[in-house]
Amino acid sequence: MALTVGLLYNLGKNEPPADGDPPDAHAELDGEQTVASVAEALRWAGHHVVPIEASCNIWEKLQSQPLDIAFNMTEGVQGGSRESQVPAILEMLGIPYTGSNVLTLAVSLDKSTSKKLFTYHGVPTPRFRVVPPGKRADLRGLRFPLFVKPGHEGSSMGISPESVCRDRQALDEQVTRLHRLYRQEALVEEYVEGREFTVGFVGNEEPLALPIMEINFGLCPPEHGAVYSYRFKTEWDADGYYLCPAPVGEDLATLLRKTALNAFRALGCLDVGRVDIRLGRDGLPQVLEVNPLPGLTPAFSDLPRVALAAGISYERLVNLILDAALERYGLSPALQSLSAIA
């Protein structure tokens, strides 16, 4: 069924960092290659694609262009709930869209709220504290080493080897740095020192769990350590740094998938998502965060990597996300069982 699909995105090149912003200020925004690749994948399935950049006049753009559905890749303009801005407009205009809804997108970018929901639903996650700008961290109940990151960012923004703090002085310095650069609260959580994995999902009622991927820190320079930083993602993208399928036994694989699915459902994710997990000292999974708007850069972003390991081409992955949304809105017949795809 050929549809008119609005491809909604924010281009990084059109949002240069302002004076005083951190160098990774717009790391989460998409490049032209990614937008073009998603558009081509949708055309591969026979759809008519209308690219729409989600600038501040997107309301007018959406009103002037009839769409059957929007393929949402937007990161928003500004603010702690920015990923929910365009979906809120789409809902006001009655336009169906792919991916999670307004509430899930707002909650998932607010890391402390996500962790509170994980706790409520029994999803294991590191203990944490929130440190408002200008304040000093209250560390009661926490033990070093601790990990510090911005409270409302994605794409490993603000993450570096210095995020791992092994004493109070290092912690105070890192919190102050993040407050200054990112102008938002900092999240301080207990550092989970074990192996790191990511689990991707596509679908809804019984989502397909894509092959588990392990981040291989063994190839990093010793001074970098086991930190999935912005530098790691941009400099070390060779396959050797990403082990997929992860070298784990079936018992651990089952536990990782179950934990990830519980986190995916705890935040109410729809159609697609990715869950980042580390193993604690006891060998059990701890959920770091959930990304309901995972990157789709071919041969680079985590989700296309794990899909390829399942034998799912990039074009098929993009259209599985679209098809999941179409089924959810009742705009297409029931999908083939996702469990049969991989």
- Secondary structure element (H or E) that encloses residue 285, with its range: strand 285-291
Q: What's the pLDDT tens digit per position in 165-179?
A: 999 999 999 999 999
**Between β-strands 69-72 and 4-9, what pairing exists: parallel, antiparallel or unpaired?**
parallel
By DSSP bridging, strand 164-165 and strand 146-150 are antiparallel
103 and 159 together in one domain: no
Instruction: Identify the residue with better confidence: 82 or 49.
Output: 49
Q: Is residue 113 part of a domain?
A: no
Digit-coded pLDDT (tens) for 12-67? 765 556 666 666 555 556 678 999 999 999 999 999 999 999 888 899 999 888 99
Instruction: Tell me the CA end-to-end span of the chain in Å, nearest whole number.
Output: 23
Q: Which of 162, 190, 218 is the last residue of a domain?
A: 190
In a domain, 315, yes or no: yes
Both 207 and 180 in one domain: the answer is no
pLDDT, average across residues 304-309? 96
Q: Which amino acid is at 73?
A: M
**Pair of tokens at residue 273:** 């998502």
| 26, 139: one domain | no
Q: Residues 270, 174: one domain?
A: no
Whether 191 contacts 147, CB under 8 Å: yes
Q: Does residue 117 fall inside a structural domain?
A: no
Residue 75 pLDDT class (50, 70, 90 cuts): confident
Are 298 and 314 in contact, with CB atoms under 8 Å apart? yes
Q: Does 336 lie in the same domain as 299?
A: yes
Radius of gyration of the chain (CA): 20
Residues 324 and 241 in one domain: yes
Residue 67 lies in a domain: yes
- What single-letter DSSP state applies at residue 23? T
Q: Please give the pLDDT value at position 340.
A: 44
Residue 125 tokens read as 């996650």
Residue 120 located in a structural domain = no
Task: Give percent of the chain above pLDDT 70.
Answer: 92
Higher per-residue pLDDT: 76 or 218: 218
Whole-number mean pLDDT of the chain? 90
276 touches 231 (CB < 8 A): no
CATH number at residue 175: 3.30.1490
- Would 56 be classed as within a structural domain? yes
Whether 317 is covered by a domain: the verdict is yes
Same domain, yes or no: 171 and 84? no
Q: How many CB atoms lie within 10 A of CB 74?
A: 27
Query: Residue 86's domain spans which residues?
Result: 4-108
Q: Determine the average pLDDT of the residues in 316-338.
A: 83
**What span, in angstroms and rounded, lies between the C-alpha atoms of 144 and 164?**
9
> Which helix (H) or strand (E) element contains residue 168?
helix 168-182
Looking at the fold, whether 336 and 228 belong to one and the same domain comes out as: yes
Out of 190, 205, 235, a domain closes at 190
**Is the domain of 103 the same as that of 147?**
no
Based on the fold, state whether residues 54 and 97 are members of the same structural domain. yes
CATH value at residue 325: 3.30.470.20
The contacts of residue 50 (CB under 8 Å, 6+ apart) are 4, 5, 6, 7, 65, 67
The residue among 56, 79, 108 that closes a domain is 108
User: 154 is written with which tokens?
Assistant: 């994605």
Q: For residues 324 and 257, state if they share a domain.
A: yes
Q: How far apart are CA 208 and CA 193, in angstroms?
A: 28
pLDDT at 130 > cutoff 70: yes
Alpha-carbon span 217 to 228, nearest angstrom:
8
Residue 242 pLDDT > 70: yes
Instruction: Identify whether residues 140 and 226 lie together within a single domain.
Output: no
Give how many domains the chain has, as a whole number.
3
Answer whether residue 211 is part of any domain.
Answer: yes
